[in-house]
């Protein structure tokens, strides 16, 4: 009789282990369930490539009144600025912001990590603490977003928004 009782108990425990009611499918998972798939947009609400892809910058117009070597010089200077901004953004999570003097100060260590970057080749810093183009005019920085910045050189005439400005 004892053997029968022990055998029945063993069979019951074995069945319980196989069944595992404590792991039922109605158990609430800690992971959130994904939302149901949305219906495709109507023709009027169709998503275009412009909605998904980042905007492509307009081609840079070649400034007038500059020689080939001068154009190459300012292109190289802007490339070097962009490399410094990239390094800054990689270290701090975004471009420096503010006026030219504030951006220059941030690049020279006035930032959250006190990261100091070299003055980019082709640029200088004037007595007002501003980064300047190859002709000694302060660069004009226009923040388009936290990661994109338009850079403008006043050009050889040292006046912004004239035909010899170089913009990227």
Work out the angle between the directed axes of helices 68-92 and 100-107 (0-180°, nearest 10).
60
3-state secondary structure 94-138: CCCCCCHHHHHHHHCCCCCCCCCCCCCCCCEECCCCCEECCCCCE
Residue 54: φ, ψ to 5°: -65, 150
Q: What is the pLDDT of residues 2-47, one digit of tens each?
A: 788 788 877 877 776 666 665 555 544 454 555 555 555 555 555 5
User: 127: which DSSP letter?
Assistant: T
Among 55, 149, 151, 150, smallest CA distance to 94 is for: 149
- In this prediction, residue 41 carries a pLDDT of 52
Strand partners, 167: 152
State the average pLDDT for the chain. Answer: 81
Whole-angstrom CA distances from 10 to 2, 3, 5, 36 are: 12, 10, 9, 45
Q: 6 is written with which tokens?
A: 């022990």
Collapsing DSSP states into helix, strand and coil, what is residue 143? Answer: strand
Please state, in angstroms and rounded to a whole number, the distance separating the CA atoms of residues 71 and 74: 5
- In this prediction, residue 65 carries a pLDDT of 82
Please state, in angstroms and rounded to a whole number, the distance separating the CA atoms of residues 17 and 76: 72
Which residue would you say has higher pLDDT here, 12 or 51?
A: 12
- In this prediction, residue 34 carries a pLDDT of 53
- In this prediction, residue 11 carries a pLDDT of 80
Please state, in angstroms and rounded to a whole number, the distance separating the CA atoms of residues 6 and 72: 92
The mean per-residue pLDDT over the stretch 108-112 comes to 95
Q: What is the pLDDT of residues 66-89, one digit of tens each?
A: 888 998 999 999 999 999 999 999
Our measurement of the distance from residue 156's CA atom to the centroid of its chain's CA atoms, rounded to an integer in Å, reads 32
Q: For 32-46, 96-110, 124-138, which range has the lowest pLDDT when averaged over its residues?
A: 32-46
Our measurement of the distance from residue 16's CA atom to the centroid of its chain's CA atoms, rounded to an integer in Å, reads 55
Break the chain into its structural domains and give their ranges: 67-157
Q: Report whether pLDDT(59) > 50.
A: no
End-to-end CA distance of the chain: 93
């Amino acid at each position: 009789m004892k053997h029968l009782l022990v055998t029945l108990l063993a069979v019951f425990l074995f069945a319980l282990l196989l069944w595992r009611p404590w792991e039922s499918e109605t158990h609430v998972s800690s992971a959130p369930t994904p939302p149901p798939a949305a219906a495709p947009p109507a023709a009027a609400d169709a998503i275009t490539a412009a909605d998904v892809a980042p905007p492509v910058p307009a081609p840079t117009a070649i400034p007038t009144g500059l020689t080939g070597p001068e154009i190459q010089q300012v292109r190289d200077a802007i490339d070097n600025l962009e490399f410094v901004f990239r390094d800054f953004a990689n270290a701090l999570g975004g471009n420096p912001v503010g006026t030219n003097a504030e951006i220059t100060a941030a690049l020279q260590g006035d930032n959250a990590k006190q990261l100091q970057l070299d003055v980019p080749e082709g640029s200088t810093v004037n007595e007002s603490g501003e980064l300047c183009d190859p002709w000694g005019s302060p660069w004009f920085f226009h923040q388009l977003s936290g990661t994109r910045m338009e850079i403008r050189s006043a050009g050889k005439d040292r006046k912004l928004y004239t035909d010899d400005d170089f913009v990227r």
